[in-house]
Amino acid sequence: MLKASFKAIFSLILVALTASGCTFPWEKDRTLQDMPLVSYANNNQKNSGPSGDLKKNTDAAFLKDFMFSHSAATSMISAIPGADANQVLAVEGNYIYTLVKNDIFITNSLYAPQAKVVGKISFPSRPLGILVSGQRVAVYGVDTEIKSSPVWNSFKREGDYLFFKIYDVADPTSPKEVRDLSFEGQYAGVKLIGSHAYLMTTANINYLENEPLTPRILEAGQVVSGDCRDANNCLIPEVFYFDYSYNNYYFLSVASISLSDTSKALVVNDYLLDSNQEAYAPTNSLYLTYTNSVSEYDLQNELKRDQVFNRLSAADQQQIKEIEALPENLLSSPEKAVKVAAIVNAYTASLSSSEKDALQAAVDSSLVEKIKANMNEIENTTIYKIIFDAGKIAYQAKGNIFGQIIKGSGLSESDGQVRLVASRNEMWSKLFKDTSKVYNNLYVLDDGLRVLGKLENIATGAKLHEVKFMGNRAYLKTAKVNDALYVADFSDSTKPGILGAVQLPNSSAQIYQADDKGNVLLSFGRNQEVGAESSLVKTGLKLSLFDFSDLQSPKELSGYVIGDANSDSMALNNHQALYNSISANIISVPVSLYDNNRLSFSGALVFSTDGGVLNLKGRVDHSLGGLMSAADSWQGFSYYDNTVRYSTLADTDLLTFSNKFLKINKIASLSEVGSLLLTPGEESYIITTTDIPEIPKIPESAEQLAEPGSDSISTTTEEMPPLSLETSATSTAASTVATSTATTTPNINVPE
């Protein structure tokens, strides 16, 4: 009788839907179109449960019934991991495109000393990012103007819209808008692959009479019609759903938009997702996941049913048999469980206290065996792969693993293979003697999502919180403060393993890959020192270089402590703000330094790594010697106009960008070859209640800047102490991965 735990559907709604012919995805035949590589369930098998297959629907009545009988989700995917970062700076040929608030500046950089702004595009709604492909620039952001447009008054459904505009910049001095699109929903991500942008949005729209069933799309201010009798303004999105029970729903829409050919029709796929689904978009693919789990509560109810069934009256026994025999299209598994539990609970309520205790003891003693018998159904995740290719959006494969993928970071793709890190729920721990541990799995899948290699039941002291894939390694971080990083090895696709664990001095620091293999890491965060009463005191910012090639002897190769406790960096909250180029050996760190609580420098410190040592090459000032500027905020980040938001390389030049400046410096010498003022004026000193001291002179050379006491930048070089491997003696062939430097793969726990 064991079934996955789903939200029950109210009987009244079910009866109404049955009477009206409205049904759920798995209940009856629907008109389906063939789709390559999609496996369809046999909808004529009325007694079978949901298949989990991805299906395409072309029946408007089905979609209407589905939306009418389900609630729109209140929470949706807000940002798809692996999607392109929202670019505020892009380089194409001899031109640099920078996004400053509501404006895009186009700079001719062919001759850097004479670099100048040659074009500008302004927007009433502030863009989120820009995409550049050849002579086309795409700009997207939240459309705040649509509510004042004439077409808005005809909408019953009031929600967010995203604008997507394409410009022809063949003549950068005179950009021309060539396409104007608006998509109903919220921004979730974008991928630029070749000349096609794949825009991903989410919308939790409820069914409304006479409103479109799928999210609206507007072009040139007019709704794109679903009536293809008007071939010039026609779009029918393809709608896909998953053959399982939905708790609620929302749309994840993927629109393929050609930047090079604006006359090319949009390709739009709408996926009906449940709120517990996740999405990932590494490389050229979109992965949708669904985790099916059984709760301990449901298992205990089934055990109670088995324990008391023979004690029930003949009438109650017959009623339970009839409920359990009903086909899925008349009564879903969750509804059956609720009705059976009501009969069982009515009986147990009549028992004495001692009888209730005896029943619960019998249930508890049987629970582990029940878990073992159904271990493959307790928690598993289905993964669906959708590929983006030459403007097409195509489903490719479906696969399954045990456990739940670490949310937001547990999936990566490398050379067509999918690497996964998943955790088991707490109930799984009952299969082991040490029930305090959390158990995790590693998987490698091929391009058809078939398992190539796996390592299961890896025990950690706390639940995994974040995964950083770097080269052939993955660094696994738990939710426990100051816990070690567990190091997973994916160099052999058929045998993923655990190498051990390493301890970073600051577990909250951002980490970056610093070599091709993932053995050398760069970390950046707040520097912490032990203060009075053994408390941790923040003393500045710290950039460190670690060598984890040999986990038996991990080393901090080099480190810089920057500024004091008041110093700040956008990279503390925005991982993308720190620029690290392994091939060019350049690290650009955005910092704001203070002296006596007033700004002394805002810009970028530029480092190289030579022989495993961090070398400060110099600095790029965006603050005119320490002047404050206007405050700004973007995508949840607060900063000032002179805060460096992004750095990148263009041939032999380093570009650093703030709202205030675009600076061009030679990589080798860091000498300035171009400086463009993007936002003039608004500079001022901080107003304080004390006398403002004389503005200190900021050193011009890297050597001066690196001296201890000069702008509070100091260096450190130290070895990390060896870390020990804790081995569990609670079970044969069982060991626990803990703070460790062991290079041998520890034994993995096995269920008793």
DSSP 538-579: EEEEEEEEEE-SSTTS-EEEEEEEES-TT-B-GGGT-GGGSE
- pLDDT value at residue 532: 64
- pLDDT value at residue 504: 86
Give me the amino acid identity at 220. Answer: A
Q: What is the mean pLDDT of residues 293-317?
A: 91
Q: What is the pLDDT of residues 634-653, one digit of tens each?
A: 888 889 999 999 999 999 99
Q: What is the mean pLDDT of residues 589-617?
A: 93
What is the C-alpha to C-alpha distance for residues 221 and 580, in angstroms, rounded to an integer? 42
Q: 60-69 and 11-20 are packed helices; what angle lies between their axes, rounded to 10 degrees? A: 160
* Nearest one of 520, 667, 659, 531 to 587, comparing CA atoms: 667
Instruction: Report, in this order, helix, strand and coil percent for the chain, each rounded to 5.
Output: 15, 40, 45
What is the C-alpha to C-alpha distance for residues 522 and 116, in angstroms, rounded to an integer? 35
Q: What is the mean pLDDT of residues 294-309?
A: 90
CA 405 from centre of chain: 12
Q: Which pLDDT band, with edges at 50, 70 and 90, does 371 fall under?
A: confident
The angle formed by the CA atoms of residues 631, 632 and 633, to the nearest 5 degrees, is 140
- pLDDT value at residue 41: 33
- pLDDT value at residue 749: 56
* 26 vs 625, higher pLDDT: 625
- pLDDT value at residue 729: 26
- pLDDT value at residue 228: 62
% of the chain with per-residue pLDDT over 90: 65
Q: Minimum mean pLDDT among 88-102, 120-134, 321-335, 604-618: which range?
A: 321-335
Q: What is the mean pLDDT of residues 311-333?
A: 89
Q: What is the pLDDT of residues 220-260, one digit of tens each?
A: 999 997 666 555 666 888 999 999 889 899 999 999 999 99
How does the average pLDDT of the chain come out, rounded? 84
Q: What is the mean pLDDT of residues 743-750?
A: 42
Q: What is the pLDDT of residues 530-561, one digit of tens each?
A: 666 666 677 899 999 999 999 888 999 999 99
pLDDT at 720 over 60: no
What is the C-alpha to C-alpha distance for residues 270 and 244, in angstroms, rounded to an integer? 17
Q: Minimum mean pLDDT among 142-151, 484-493, 503-512, 526-535: which range?
A: 526-535
Q: What is the mean pLDDT of residues 611-618?
A: 93
Q: Which pLDDT band, with edges at 50, 70 and 90, does 684 fall under?
A: low
Q: Which pLDDT band, with edges at 50, 70 and 90, does 623 fall under?
A: very high
What residue has token string 């996941």?
A: 289
- pLDDT value at residue 402: 96
* 716 vs 393, higher pLDDT: 393
Q: What is the pLDDT of residues 372-402, one digit of tens each?
A: 888 778 899 999 999 999 999 999 999 999 9
What is the C-alpha to C-alpha distance for residues 469 and 484, in angstroms, rounded to an integer? 16
Q: What is the mean pLDDT of residues 712-721?
A: 43
pLDDT at 166 over 90: yes
**Sign of the alpha-carbon torsion through 18, 22, 26, 28:** positive
- pLDDT value at residue 537: 75
pLDDT at 298 over 50: yes
pLDDT at 170 over 80: yes
Is residue 65 classed as helix, strand or coil in its secondary structure? Answer: helix
Q: What is the pLDDT of residues 16-55, one digit of tens each?
A: 333 333 322 222 332 323 333 343 333 333 445 678 999 9
Q: What is the mean pLDDT of residues 656-665?
A: 97
CB 330 within 8 A of CB 271: no
CB 402 within 8 A of CB 454: no
DSSP 221: T
- pLDDT value at residue 278: 97
Domain segments of the chain: what residues? Answer: 11-69+295-373, 89-281, 507-722
- pLDDT value at residue 79: 95
Q: What is the mean pLDDT of residues 713-718?
A: 45
> Residue 369: exposed, middle, or buried by beta-carbon count in 10 A (0-12, 13-18, 19+)?
exposed
Tell me the Ramachandran region of residue 390: left when phi exceeds 0, alpha when psi lies from -120 to 50, beta otherwise: left
Is residue 332 classed as helix, strand or coil in its secondary structure? Answer: coil
% of the chain with per-residue pLDDT over 70: 82
CB 151 within 8 A of CB 222: yes
> Residue 690: exposed, middle, or buried by beta-carbon count in 10 A (0-12, 13-18, 19+)?
exposed
* Nearest one of 486, 551, 492, 519 to 748, comparing CA atoms: 486
Q: What is the mean pLDDT of residues 91-99?
A: 96
